[in-house]
Structure 1
Amino acid sequence: MNANFFKKALFILGTALFFTACSNDDDNAISGPSIQLLEVGTNNSLQAFAGADLHLEAEIEAAANIDKIEVEIHSETTGGWELNKIFTEGYSGAKNATFHEHIDIPADVAPGDYHLHIKVTDKNGNSKEAESKLAIVLKNPAAALVFTPVTGTGVEGHGDHFHGLAAEVLGTPITVTFDENGNAISGGHLHLNPTAIYKIALKTYDNKGAETQNKYIADAATATNYKAFLVGGSFVLNAATANGTGAIFQPREATYADGTTGSTTATTSTGVTTYLTIGTDNKGEKDVTFVMRKVNTGVKTTITRADWNRADYATAFAGSNELELKFEIHAE
């Protein structure tokens, strides 16, 4: 009797294991990838600008692990621009991933209505696709920041400012452009060398594309009303470090727009031209805003070189913001 009981127990156990295994096999067989499209264009605007980059974000799950992610863009009309691109780095082999990429849109792309497809394929060959409409438009920038690397004998950061800028040698510029709301149109994910020094030129434009930034420094009297800040990012300031490994942001115009000089001192300079180094203490990604602030009478002379990144700048220095340009710095 004990033997029969033992045999029956083994039979029941084996049957249970068999059906469990079959159930697991069935689950694996039907468990393909899933994709949830979160963002097409900044703030999910479903819009991109020719000559800029298209922001894409999606959440992906794949029980059998991701093999590849394909992005396809094609025009809804004949003769438009087309893109086919495969992404594997940082995604292949993962079960779950946030797909976050920026697709460069060539400047000569024909504007119009386009269609976007994002397809994820897992290691078993199963695939899932998400799609969205996309408008590509032409747009003139309202403002720009031009970052040009600076080298030269004696050019270096010291405390809260730079030495040797008169001997500067300029490299290849990098431009970030902005719309009328201060959102980056192109170059908004700015990659900078944390140890390099950059000369930043502010550009603003009227509706005909003419530069207008000299309105902030038309002459010495006008400039007393304006001061630039670079806020956000929680920077470690260079003056607070022992080895000069922090950030410096120094507004420094050599002349006013009327040709007179004297605007390079700490409290008189405005910031249409500035110099920046990030510093190794600030490696990583930082969300920042370049601010041109119109300050009340007598306020500008109280703003020191240590105040450029203050979180409370708006309450500390009474006035109103004329310009807020939002972008990311990737210091690497």
Structure 2
Amino acid sequence: MKTTKIGFITLFTMLFFGLLSSCKKDDDDIPALAKPEIGTMEIGTDNSKTAAAGSDLHLEGNIVAEALINKIDIEIHQEGGGSYKITKAYTEGKYIGVKNATFHEHIDIPSVAPAGEYHLHFTVTDKAGNTTTVESPITITAAEAKAAFKLVLTEVKGEGHGDHFHDLADKEGVEPLSVNFDASGEAIGHSHFHISPSGVYKVELKQYDAAGVEIQGQYIKDKATADNYKVFITGGAFILNPNSENSTGAIFQPKETTYSDGTAIPSGAIETTGIISYFTAGAANAGEKDVKFVLRKFNDKSTKATITRTDWNLTNYDVKFPGEDVFRLSFELHAEDGE
């Protein structure tokens, strides 16, 4: 009996000191003084340290935490006396409980964020309670305006003949050109098209509602609707192809084939509108021109039948064809080889 008691006491003592040793070993695995290390952070696209309201901020960098990552906190606060702040915390997931991590996230910047100068705090806390913070100034720019309109130019095959084209066909491997416009018709971002003077281009009009849905089909919903509208290109003082030497002038040919309801548009010069059209500047018009793409609604739908293929660039179109301009999209046309 005495021997049994001694054995029990010995076993208890061994377990007790073994537990203490184990706890000490666990503590040794979390060095209290080894703070997390944060490598060079890439902040913003191409490390621009800039983001637009309504978009996101790219953040990327390597983290080493000997005591394992417990939490990552991000704070972006307004400078210059402003009170706007963006915060984000990571307490679970792939970055937590590991020693090495490559942090790569895109932090949402709300569209209501005021434009201006901000300050970023990126803080890593390990399981021992140590913290390391990286700071950086960043700039938030104003939210980008949504496109209300877009013009898309795609080079195609085709031959100009008088005031119209023959043998139009798609080209393979062609990169479309485009310009976006706000609701007032002003270009968003770049405002020009670089085209070859002799190139033939398919021109597509896009219009968007508040949800970004295309609505340009409303103008050619059916024949009765389309008879109210026609596209003009104003400005540029183009030399038209029929008036040029050696057929080197400009041609603009509206050329939709169906109404939005699926019925065929009658062939000829007067029925089409210009939601889809074809254009060449021609060598006689090489250089830079400021132009406007205009959709006009007529007071009398019988007006459309009086418009010929050479009326598209008239300076007095608004007088000759009474009505109102639905919209005017302003852009620069650079018709120069080698661009």
Class of the TM-score when normalised by the shorter of the 2 chains: 0.5 to 0.7
Q: Is residue 279 of structure 2 the alignment partner of residue 276 of structure 1?
A: yes
> Does the CA contact (< 8 Å) of 1:251 and 1:271 recur in 2?
yes
What RMSD, in angstroms, separates the aligned Cα atoms of the two structures?
Answer: 2.7
Amino acid at match of 1:210: V
Q: What residue is the counterpart of 1:143 in the other structure?
A: 149
> Does the CA contact (< 8 Å) of 2:51 and 2:140 recur in 1?
no
Change (3 A) 1:321 1:263: farther
For the residues of structure 2 that align with 1:272 and 1:226, how far apart are their CA atoms?
10
* Distance apart, 1:147 and its partner CA: 0.4
Q: Is residue 268 of structure 2 the alignment partner of residue 265 of structure 1?
A: yes
The SS at the match of 1:137 is coil
Count of residue correspondences: 214
> Does the CA contact (< 8 Å) of 1:76 and 1:114 recur in 2?
no
Change (3 A) 1:159 1:200: same
The SS at the match of 1:176 is strand
Amino acid at match of 1:138: E
Fraction of identical pairs, as percent: 46
The SS at the match of 1:330 is strand
Q: What residue is the counterpart of 1:230 in the other structure?
A: 233
Amino acid at match of 1:299: T
For the residues of structure 1 that align with 2:189 and 2:161, how far apart are their CA atoms?
32
After TM superposition, the structure 1 = structure 2 runs for residues 96-135 of structure 1, keeping only pairs within 5 Å, are 113=115, 135=141
For the residues of structure 2 that align with 1:292 and 1:224, how far apart are their CA atoms?
12
For the residues of structure 1 that align with 2:290 and 2:181, how far apart are their CA atoms?
15
Amino acid at match of 1:145: L
Amino acid at match of 2:148: A
Q: What residue is the counterpart of 2:40 in the other structure?
A: none
The SS at the match of 1:271 is coil
- From 154, 169, 172, give the equivalent of 2:171: 169
For the residues of structure 2 that align with 1:285 and 1:134, how far apart are their CA atoms?
34
For the residues of structure 1 that align with 2:218 and 2:324, how far apart are their CA atoms?
16
> Does the CA contact (< 8 Å) of 1:74 and 1:114 recur in 2?
no
- From 305, 322, 328, give the equivalent of 1:318: 322
- From 250, 253, 258, give the equivalent of 2:253: 250
For the residues of structure 1 that align with 2:148 and 2:161, how far apart are their CA atoms?
34
- From 278, 302, 306, give the equivalent of 2:310: 306
The SS at the match of 1:304 is coil
Q: What residue is the counterpart of 2:292 in the other structure?
A: 289
For the residues of structure 2 that align with 1:196 and 1:225, how far apart are their CA atoms?
31
For the residues of structure 2 that align with 1:137 and 1:264, how far apart are their CA atoms?
45
* Distance apart, 1:296 and its partner CA: 2.4
Q: What residue is the counterpart of 1:214 in the other structure?
A: 217
> Does the CA contact (< 8 Å) of 2:229 and 2:273 recur in 1?
yes
For the residues of structure 2 that align with 1:148 and 1:208, how far apart are their CA atoms?
26
* Distance apart, 1:138 and its partner CA: 2.3
For the residues of structure 1 that align with 2:154 and 2:244, how far apart are their CA atoms?
25
Larger Rg: 2
For the residues of structure 2 that align with 1:259 and 1:76, how far apart are their CA atoms?
44
> Does the CA contact (< 8 Å) of 2:185 and 2:329 recur in 1?
yes
* Distance apart, 1:76 and its partner CA: 9.7
Unaligned runs of 5+ in 1: 1-72, 82-107, 116-132
Change (3 A) 1:177 1:263: farther
* Distance apart, 1:187 and its partner CA: 3.7
> Does the CA contact (< 8 Å) of 1:252 and 1:263 recur in 2?
no
TM-score (norm 2): 0.58
* Distance apart, 1:135 and its partner CA: 3.7
Q: What residue is the counterpart of 1:194 in the other structure?
A: 197
